[in-house]
Amino acid sequence: MTETGCKDPVILNLWHPIAAVAETAPGRVADTVLLEERLGFAIDDAGNAAVWRSRPGLATGDRVEPLEVRDTLPAKLAYGYLWTSLGSPEEIFPIPEFAEPDRRRLNAATIGVNVSAPRAIENFLDMGHFPYVHTDILGAEPHTEVKEYDVEISIERDEILATRCRFFQPMASTTSSGGADVDYIYRVPHPYCSVLYKSSPVDEKRLDVIAVFLQPIDQEHIHAHMMLCVLDEENEDKVIKRFQQTIFGQDKPILENQFPKRLPLDPRAETPIRADKSAIAYRRWLSQKGVTYGVIPALG
C-alpha cells in the first residue's frame, strides 16, 4: 500500500464523494484529490465506475473502459455522486427520500472551500447565522432567536439527529409573502456528510431534502458537494442551483475566516450556547468515534 497523508482509520474506512455523476464526461479519465491522495476515475454510460490511485498511463481526458481498469479502489454510485474509499468501507448511509419518484434530484454545486470538513458540517447544522450570513434569504433581523430543539445521538443508526428545529424565514413559501417559522430536521450520518429536511414551500406536508457531502482534500481543504432532492416542478435547474450557490457563496468567506481551521474538540476551546446543541453533540460524537482527521483532538 502507498503511504497516505491520512492516518485516521475511521476516516480511511468511510465512503467519500469525489464527483457528481452528471458532471463527469462518460468514458473519460478524470482526476481529483481525496485525503491528500491523487485519484483517477471514470464512469461509463451504463453507470459502471472505477476509481484508482493516479498512475502513469491513465491520463486525464483519455478514453477508458471503467470495467477494464485493474488495481482499483472501491467505487459506488449513490445519490448522484461517485463515492470511493481508501480503506474497507461498510454500507453507505440511507436517504430513503431519494427514491421517491416525484422528486427533482440534482447536484446544486461543487465548491472548493479552504476549511476542514467538520467546520463546514457545523456551519450546515447552524441556524443562528441565518439572519447575519444569509440576510433576507434564510433569516432576517430582528428575528434572531434560535428556539429550543432536540438533539439525540442515535446509537442504533450511529448518527446525530436534531429535530423540532424552527427558524424564522422571510418569504418562507412561494404561496405567501410574509415571513414564517420554517421547520428543519438535521441528520449527521457520516462525519463529513449531513442531510437536512426542510418544509417544502409547495407542499406543507412534505419535506425537501438538501444534503452536503464533503470531500476532504486534506485536513483544511474540502470540495463541498451539495445535493438537492426537492419537490419543485416549476423552476428550471439553473434557478434552483443558483439559489443554493448563493447560499453557499455566503458561507464560504465566513468558513475561510474561522480559526483554527480544524475543528477543536476540546470543550473549552470555544464558547457554546444552547443554540449550538447539535454542534456540541457532533463534537462529542467525533470524539467518541476517535476521529482525528480535520479536527484538533481534545487532550487526554
Partner 1 sequence: MQQERTRTRWHPIAASHDLPPRHVFHAQLWGREFAVWRADDGYVNVWENRCLHRGVRLSIGINDGRELKCQYHGWRYANRTAGCTYIPAHPADAPARTITNRTYPAVERYGLVWSCEQPEGEVPGVPGLEREAPLALRGIPVNAPAALVVTALRAHRFQPNGRIDGSDAEMVVKAADDFSVALSARADGAATLAIFFVQPVDSGRSVIRGVLDRDPGAEARNAVLRHHNAGLSVLRDNVERQAAARPAPAPIEPVYERVPAALAELPEPSAHGRKAALRVTVARKWEAADGIAGFELRPLKGLLPTFQPGAHIDVHLPNGAIRQYSIVNGPGESDRYVIGVKREADSKGGSLCLHETVREGDVLAISEPRNNFPLRRDAVKTLLVAGGIGATPLIAMAQALHHQRLVHSFHYFAQNEAQLAFGDRLDGLKDTLVPHLGLTPQETGGRLRDILSGYAEGMHVYLCGPGPMLEAARAIAGECGWPDEAVHFEYFKNTRAIDDSSAFEIALARSCLTLKVPAGRSILEVMREAGVDMPSSCEQGACGTCMATVIEGEPDHQDVYLNDAEKRAGTKIMTCVSRAKSARLVLDV
State the binding partner of 2 from partner 1, Fe ion, none, CB within 5 to 8 A by kind: none
Grid cell at residue 32 = 481529483
Among 275, 284, 285, 287, binds partner 1 (CB under 8 A): 275
User: Can you tell me which of 251, 279, 293, 294 binds Fe ion, judged by CB under 5 A?
Assistant: 251
Q: Kindly tell me the burial class for residue 99, based on how many C-beta atoms sit within 10 Å of its own C-beta (0-12, 13-18, 19 or more).
A: exposed
Nearest of 289, 93, 76, 84 to residue 195 by alpha carbon? 93
- The β-bridge relationship of strands 193-199 and 180-190 is antiparallel
Subset of residues 86 to 125 that bind partner 1, contact rule: CB under 8 A: 122
Q: Is 5 in the site for partner 1 (CB under 8 A)?
A: no
Residues 67-86 that bind partner 1 (CB under 8 A): none
Which of Fe ion, partner 1, none does residue 146 bind to, with CB < 5 to 8 Å depending on kind?
partner 1
Asked if 208 is part of the footprint of Fe ion (rule: CB under 5 A), the reply reads: no
Q: Which of 55, 157, 164, 274 binds partner 1 (CB under 8 A)?
A: 274
| CA-based radius of gyration for the chain | 19
The phi-psi region of residue 220 (left if phi > 0; otherwise alpha if psi is between -120 and 50; otherwise beta) is alpha
8 binds partner 1 (CB under 8 A): no
Report how far residue 207's alpha carbon sits from residue 141's, in angstroms, rounded to the nearest whole number: 25
Among 257, 278, 286, 295, which residue sits at the site for partner 1 (rule: CB under 8 A)? Answer: 257
Bridge partner list, 187: 161, 195
**Sign of the alpha-carbon torsion through 258, 140, 169, 208:** negative
Q: Which stretch binds Fe ion (CB under 5 A): 4-12, 31-39, 95-103, 245-253?
A: 245-253
Residues that bind Fe ion (CB under 5 A): 251
Residues that bind partner 1 (CB under 8 A): 122, 126, 128-129, 131-133, 141-146, 253-254, 257-260, 264, 266-275, 277, 280
